[in-house]
Structure 1
Amino acid sequence: MIRLDNIGKQHGQQILFVEASAQLNRGEKIGLVGPNGAGKTTLFRMVMQREHPDEGQVSVDRGVTIGYFDQDVGEMSGMSAVAATMDGAGPVSEVAAELKQLEAAMADPERMDEMDKLIERFGVVQGRYEELGGYALEGKAREILAGLGFTLEMMDGDVGALSGGWKMRVALARILLMRPDVMLLDEPSNHLDIESLIWLENFLKGYEGALLMTSHDREFMNRVISKIIEIDGGTLTTYSGNYDFYEKQRAQLERQQQAQFERQQAMLAKELKFIERFKARASHAAQVQSRVKKLEKIEKVEPPKRRQTLVFDFQPPPRSGDDVAKLERVVKGYGKRRIYSGLDFLVRRGERWCVMGVNGAGKSTLLKLIAGESHPDDGAVSVGSSVKMGYFAQHAMEVLKGELTVFESLVERFPRASQGSLRALAGCFGFSGDEVEKKCRVLSGGEKARLVLAQMLYDPPNFLVLDEPTNHLDMATKQMLITALANYEGTMLFVSHDRHFLAALSNRVLELTPEGVHQYGGGYTEYVSRTGQEAPGLRN
């Protein structure tokens, strides 16, 4: 359906692709992976003909429809979320727009003399609309929006009033409603809560078309895709299997290539030693010449490309008291809406609580109450003795000083630390070389999150309160964070929609539901096993 044949592409001084080839066949579900800046979005744009390769060819079979979701959703306003979703549903939305124009024209007294022609055209367009399933379209649009977490009020409200994250969901809903032959999805799992993520997972599993997508959510990739295309050093390599299988395959191929490289290097060293030893002897001239010619013909084995592995080691945090945080008979509401009525909750030293609940259940509110960012309407919130808290919230990224560089931000926070240790810290969080000189105002969401986490974890608190710390993080940084936090000796309370993160780090679950608050011993994996569901909003 889609083929990339020996493509070459360069942006300024950066070479993205060199004689790279790959293809997407009918019904295949492929994950596109590679480090940030490797060219994933550029590849999508070339398939969509928004960019063109410098060399080679990108070809799409005649008549194939493509739906492309990216992070740039543009301006949306002046219509409901349902209307905005239907507006982008491909040919059927164009037919719907003409139907609307014809209805307006037939109701216009000044066009009475055209009525016969208008009625005739209306009949043709209406037939086409019915043929395309137009009358079922609104129901399907509402079903998709509900799956992505929209309430009825949000569906019917002005899409312009929604936040950027919810507008992203409308843009995604458009593509899903369109059901094209091929979907290109660039980070569709961003901005989704766990319930919406699992709904999307199931939708894509049942989708019969071809899929090419990127995602920083390992579990999502594992469940949806069955093939990987990796961008690495300008080449495209295809692997069979899901993301976990790809990682194992790649590691095995790297070990084999390293072994081949080492064997060849040993053989070359031996041959060169012989040549060097006997090149001056006439009696060995023929042998030396033969070996020189042999070496000239040998195809050199390259060592495997070394990927940068991010590693961050915590300094041991100071020990806290046994009772780290306590909520007693806490009441909290916003306006007429009551979030908690008499909530009791105790966090003890060494516990790692993940907080589960649907949108609006009060997950972030709980973290804010404990962090002192919000106060209860009634009841008491207390933090134990010797507790040093680190609180990561989404708005924490907004307090970075735009005029400072990444390195200057670290120096300002830790003025007594050595430059070497701060550069090492920046490197652990993905800021290497000249990247430490980037101004904070030009950082992406992921880069800001990494910088805030670096500032928080360098001089570690003994109680981490984390609200969606993995949003915007790529897989390598996310894995580094999981590995570091697995060895962390303090106490944790966190919210996350990343199931890999939840399973790896929690040893307690606090579930917030309309029916009440439930506490589970054991981590997220045990919670799933006991409840039979991966999130509270999925329970029957």
Structure 2
Amino acid sequence: MIRLDNVSKQNGRQLLFVEAAAALQKGEKIGLVGPNGAGKTTLFRLITGQEPPDEGQVLVDRGVTIGFFSQDVGEMAGRPAVAEVMDGAGPVSEVAAELAALEAAMADPDRADELDAIIERFGEVQSRFEELGGYALEGRAREVLAGLGFSQEMMDGDVGALSGGWKMRVALARILLMRPDVMLLDEPSNHLDLESLIWLEQFLAAYEGALLMTSHDREFMNRVVRKIIEIDGGSLTTYSGDYAFYEQQRTLNERQQQAQFERQQAMLAKEISFIERFKARASHAAQVQSRVKKLEKIERVEPPKRRQSVSFDFPQAPRSGEDVVNLRQVHKRYGSRAIYEGLDFMVRRRERWCVLGVNGAGKSTLLKLVAGATEPDAGTVSVGGSVRMGYFAQHAMELLDGDRTVFQALEDAFPLANQGSLRTLAGCFGFSGDEVEKRCRVLSGGEKARLVMARMLYDPPNFLVLDEPTNHLDMATKEMLVAALAQYEGTMLFVSHDRHFLAALSNRVLELTPDGVHQYGGGYTEYVARTGQEAPGLHA
């Protein structure tokens, strides 16, 4: 359906693709992976024709429809979310628009003399609309929006009133409703809560078209894709299998290549040593010559490209008292909506609570109450002795000083730290080389999140309260964070939609449901085994 033939592409001074080749066949589900800046988004733009290749060609079969979801959703305002979604449904939305125009024309007294022609055309357009499933379209649009977490009010409300994250979901819903032959999805798992993510997984599993997508969520990738295309060093390499298979295979390939490289280096060293020893002796001249020629002809094995694996040994947090935080008979309302009515909840030292619940269940509210960012209407929240709290929430990113560089922001927080360790810290969170000189005001949401996280963990508090800490983090940074937090000896209370993060780090689960608050001993994995569901809003 789509083929890249010897495609080369340069972006400024950076070579993204050098004679790269890959194909997407009918019904295939492929994950696109590669380090940040390797060219994943550029590849999507080449396929959609938004950018031309410098050399080679991108071939798309005639008549193939492509739906492209990117993080850049553009402006949306002035109509209900459901209308915005239906508008993206391809040919059927154009037919719907003509149908509406014809209905208006039939009711227009100034066009009475054209009525017969208008009625005839209306009949034709109406049957085409039925053929395309137009009358079922609104129902399908609402189904998709509900799957992505929208309430009926949000579907019917002005799309312009929604936050950036919800507008992303509207843009994603447009592509899903369109059901094109090929879907290109750039980070569709960003901004989704756990329930919506699992719904999307099931939707994509049942989707019969071809799919090419990127995602920083390994569990999501493993469940959706059956093939991986890796972009690295300008070339595209295809692996047949899910993300876990790709990781194993790549490690194996790297080991084999390293072994080949070492064997060849040993052989070359032996040959060079022979040539050096005997080059001055006339009796060995012929042998020396033949070995020199042999060396010139040998195709050199390259050592495997070393991936920068980031790791950082975070210092241990000071010990807190046994009772870390205690909520007693807490009541909290927003307007007429009661979030908590008499909540009792206690966190003890070294417990790692993950908080689960559908949108609006009060997950972020609980974290705000614990962190003191909001007050209870009644009841008490008491923090224990010697507790030093670190609170990470999306709004923390707004507190960065836009005029300071990344490195200065770290220096401001830790004036006594040596520069080397701060550079290592910056590198762990994805700021290498000149990136530490970027001003905070030009950082993307993901970069800001990484910087705030770095500042919090360099001198870690003994109680971490984290609201969606993995939003915007790529897989390598997530892996580093999971490894670092696995060694962390403090206490944690967190909300995350990343199942790998939940399973690796929780040892308690707090479930917020309409029929009450439930506490489970054991982490997320035990919770799934016990309840038979991966999230409270889903029932197996």
Counterpart AA for 2:110: E
Q: State how 1:61-140 maps to structure 2 within 5 Å.
A: 61-140=61-140
C-alpha separation between the residues in 2 aligned to 1:429 and 1:41? 21
Question: In structure 2, what is the equivalent of residue 326 of structure 1?
Answer: 326
Say whether residues 1:219 and 2:219 are aligned partners.
yes
Which one is further off, 59-68 or 422-431? 422-431
TM-score using structure 1 length: 0.99
Secondary structure of the residue aligned to 2:312 is coil
C-alpha separation between the residues in 2 aligned to 1:114 and 1:103? 13
Question: In structure 1, what is the equivalent of residue 258 of structure 2?
Answer: 258
Q: State how 1:489-504 maps to structure 2 within 5 Å.
A: 489-504=489-504
C-alpha separation between the residues in 2 aligned to 1:94 and 1:36? 38
C-alpha separation between the residues in 1 aligned to 2:476 and 2:333? 39
Could you report, residue by residue, the CA deviation over 1:321-374 in whole angstroms, capped at 9, with x for unpaired residues? Answer: 000000001111111111111100000001000000011111001100110111
Q: CA offset at residue 423 of structure 1? A: 1.1
Say whether residues 1:361 and 2:361 are aligned partners.
yes
Question: In structure 2, what is the equivalent of residue 462 of structure 1?
Answer: 462
Question: In structure 1, what is the equivalent of residue 426 of structure 2?
Answer: 426
Question: In structure 2, what is the equivalent of residue 187 of structure 1?
Answer: 187
Counterpart AA for 1:273: S
Q: State how 1:243-392 maps to structure 2 within 5 Å.
A: 243-392=243-392
Could you report, residue by residue, the CA deviation over 1:148-188 in whole angstroms, capped at 9, with x for unpaired residues? Answer: 00111111111111111111111111111111110000000
Question: In structure 2, what is the equivalent of residue 5 of structure 1?
Answer: 5
Q: CA offset at residue 539 of structure 1? A: 2.7
C-alpha separation between the residues in 2 aligned to 1:171 and 1:453? 29
C-alpha separation between the residues in 2 aligned to 1:46 and 1:385? 58
Q: CA offset at residue 111 of structure 1? A: 1.1
C-alpha separation between the residues in 2 aligned to 1:273 and 1:238? 40
C-alpha separation between the residues in 1 aligned to 2:153 and 2:73? 21
C-alpha separation between the residues in 1 aligned to 2:426 and 2:155? 43
C-alpha separation between the residues in 1 aligned to 2:444 and 2:252? 33
Counterpart AA for 1:323: D
Question: In structure 1, what is the equivalent of residue 242 of structure 2?
Answer: 242
Secondary structure of the residue aligned to 2:537 is helix
Counterpart AA for 2:115: M
C-alpha separation between the residues in 2 aligned to 1:285 and 1:441? 68
C-alpha separation between the residues in 2 aligned to 1:447 and 1:164? 17
C-alpha separation between the residues in 1 aligned to 2:539 and 2:517? 15
Unaligned runs of 5+ in 2: none
Q: What percentage of residue pairs aligned between the two structures are identical?
A: 81
C-alpha separation between the residues in 2 aligned to 1:468 and 1:423? 25
C-alpha separation between the residues in 2 aligned to 1:514 and 1:59? 51
Secondary structure of the residue aligned to 2:238 is strand
Counterpart AA for 2:468: E
Counterpart AA for 2:301: V
C-alpha separation between the residues in 1 aligned to 2:160 and 2:270? 71
Q: CA offset at residue 113 of structure 1? A: 1.4
C-alpha separation between the residues in 2 aligned to 1:313 and 1:397? 24
After TM superposition, the runs of 4+ consecutive aligned structure 1 residues lying more than 3 A away are none
Question: In structure 1, what is the equivalent of residue 531 of structure 2?
Answer: 531
C-alpha separation between the residues in 1 aligned to 2:378 and 2:186? 45
Counterpart AA for 1:455: R
Q: CA offset at residue 109 of structure 1? A: 1.1
Counterpart AA for 2:361: A
Could you report, residue by residue, the CA deviation over 1:364-400 in whole angstroms, capped at 9, with x for unpaired residues? Answer: 0110011011111101000000000000001001111
C-alpha separation between the residues in 2 aligned to 1:134 and 1:117? 23
Secondary structure of the residue aligned to 1:261 is helix
Question: In structure 1, what is the equivalent of residue 35 of structure 2?
Answer: 35
Unaligned runs of 5+ in 1: none
Secondary structure of the residue aligned to 2:18 is strand
Say whether residues 1:172 and 2:176 are aligned partners.
no
Question: In structure 1, what is the equivalent of residue 403 of structure 2?
Answer: 403
Q: CA offset at residue 78 of structure 1? A: 1.4
Secondary structure of the residue aligned to 1:537 is coil
Which one is further off, 95-104 or 193-202? 95-104
Could you report, residue by residue, the CA deviation over 1:86-121 in whole angstroms, capped at 9, with x for unpaired residues? Answer: 100001111111111111111111111111111111
Question: In structure 1, what is the equivalent of residue 449 of structure 2?
Answer: 449
Could you report, residue by residue, the CA deviation over 1:206-226 in whole angstroms, capped at 9, with x for unpaired residues? Answer: 000000000000100000000
- RMSD over equivalenced CA pairs, Å: 0.7
Secondary structure of the residue aligned to 1:536 is coil
Q: CA offset at residue 260 of structure 1? A: 0.2
Say whether residues 1:58 and 2:63 are aligned partners.
no
Q: CA offset at residue 64 of structure 1? A: 0.6
C-alpha separation between the residues in 1 aligned to 2:203 and 2:50? 28
C-alpha separation between the residues in 1 aligned to 2:83 and 2:196? 20
C-alpha separation between the residues in 2 aligned to 1:69 and 1:280? 68
C-alpha separation between the residues in 2 aligned to 1:507 and 1:22? 43
Secondary structure of the residue aligned to 1:493 is strand
Counterpart AA for 1:332: K
